[in-house]
Amino acid sequence: MATPWPDKPCPYCGLTITDLLLEMVPDAQQGSAEYRAINDRQPGGAITCAYCQGAVEYAANGEDLVQSIREPLRYSRPKCEDRAWRNAQVFLNQQDTDPEHGWRTTRAWPARCTATDMRRILRMRFRAEELEFLSAWAREERAVEPYILPAHRLQAAHQVRGIDLIRAIKAWARSEGRRDEDIFDLHANPNPVWPWPTPQELADRLVATGT
């Protein structure tokens, strides 16, 4: 799993870390034991919280994030600058966004910089076309430039937050008794259709997932 989605609070600042953004770690460090531990959701590797820069790592249960005394992996500044610029172009129609002055977020959607209460991820059933889209979107999340790929372009066109899609995937995994990353291999279609005919239907489905 190239981008673990803990969707858990930072043990320092309390803000919810939905996406650890491992693809933003410098390429030279992506073969390290620490990187693999985080990727596998195991203790043994730390990464910085994107909000407060505290060192966090996975707890032994593979779900929660805990404070770490390890030297954390840090994000590549060139990768962050490139993502901020491209996100602004694709999602926000802005040409001058950078890490200091752009959106404080992981996928170009505004993040409220206050303590976030934990939402309960509900159990629910998904239609085949919903899972096909979520599977393609999840695979694209592993790319350095996911925003130029088909599912992410659909996401941008319909103005849907990435955090909502991640929580939908978590709702599916819980309902089926599977791991989040099992969504990667659920379908193989790289060009899915948008599965929600109306904004209201999408809104109803997101409410059902607890987002």
Query: What does the pLDDT look like over 132-181, one tens digit per residue?
Result: 999 999 999 888 788 889 999 999 999 898 888 998 998 899 889 898 88
Rounded CA gap, 162 and 157, in Å? 13
80 falls within a domain? no
pLDDT at 50 over 80: yes
Kindly report, residue by residue over 56-82, the tens digit of the pLDDT.
999 999 999 999 999 999 999 888 888
81 falls within a domain? no
Instruction: Report whether 59 contacts 66 (CB < 8 A).
Output: yes
Rounded CA gap, 70 and 10, in Å? 16
192 falls within a domain? yes
Nearest to 164 by CA among 201, 197, 134: 134
Kindly report the average pLDDT of the chain as a whole number: 83
pLDDT at 91 over 90: no
- Cα dihedral angle (183, 186, 188, 194), rounded to 10 degrees? -70
100 falls within a domain? no
Instruction: Report whether 171 contacts 163 (CB < 8 A).
Output: no
Length of the chain: 211
| Chosen domain end from 67, 90, 112 | 67
158 falls within a domain? yes
Kindly report, residue by residue over 123-139, the tens digit of the pLDDT.
578 999 999 999 999 99
| Chosen domain end from 39, 67, 95 | 67
121 falls within a domain? no
Total domains in the fold of the chain? 2
Task: Give the global pTM.
Answer: 0.69
Domain hosting residue 33, numbered range = 8-67
pLDDT at 104 over 50: no
Alpha carbon 152 to chain centroid, angstroms: 12
12-25 average pLDDT score: 92
